[in-house]
Amino acid sequence: MKTLTRRTALVAAFSLCAIASTGPLAAGENHEHMHVDAGNFLIHAPYARVMGKMAKSGAIFMGLQNVGGTDDRLIGASTPVARMTSLHTNVEDPNGVMKMVPIKGGVSIPADKTHWFKRGGDHIMLMGLKKPLAEGDTIPLTLVFEKAGKVRLDVKVDNHHKGDEGMGRMNMKMDD
């Protein structure tokens, strides 16, 4: 009998969760622990929301868990709902003022670690929204990894979410 590696067992378990979660949400289902197997990555709790009063920009938050066994880097993202999509973070300037700035060179995600894109920290910025991010809508997103390639997913809009980790819902597809 063949013994499963830790990674194989994790991927198998999360794949079953992904298959089970592709249908409509049931009333009372706990969204905060949703995750989907994306090959070398598990994507945890993705959600999108508008930013600011004018609603011309938005952001996407999620956890990216690297289960691939080698370090990788998220180098980009894109969505047809925004004119520009980029990786951003918040930094404090010398005067103590917090500012959002683009992340140059991507976000390193070491093997067996999870990187959280969360409010007040790293996030995927959506600029020049082509239409408002309406509560409950689903938007397509493509993540681009240096080694793992492209991962396509659908992210639920949750403009009322208050926490650091999302309550999103998605379906995803890997590109070769």
pLDDT digits (tens, 9 = 90+) for 37-77: 567 899 999 999 998 777 799 999 999 999 989 999 999 99
What average pLDDT does this structure show over 2-11? Answer: 42
Compute the mean pLDDT over every residue in the chain, rounded to the nearest whole number: 77
User: Taking the alpha carbons of 112, 118, 120, 126 in that order, is the dihedral positive or negative?
Assistant: positive
| Domains parsed from the chain with CATH numbers | 6-174 (2.60.40.1890)
What average pLDDT does this structure show over 7-36? Answer: 38
CB contact burial 59-95 (16+ within 10 A = b; e otherwise): bbbbbbbbbbeeebbbebbbbebbeebebbbeeeeee
User: Which pTM value belongs to this model?
Assistant: 0.73
The predicted structure's pLDDT at residue 20: 33
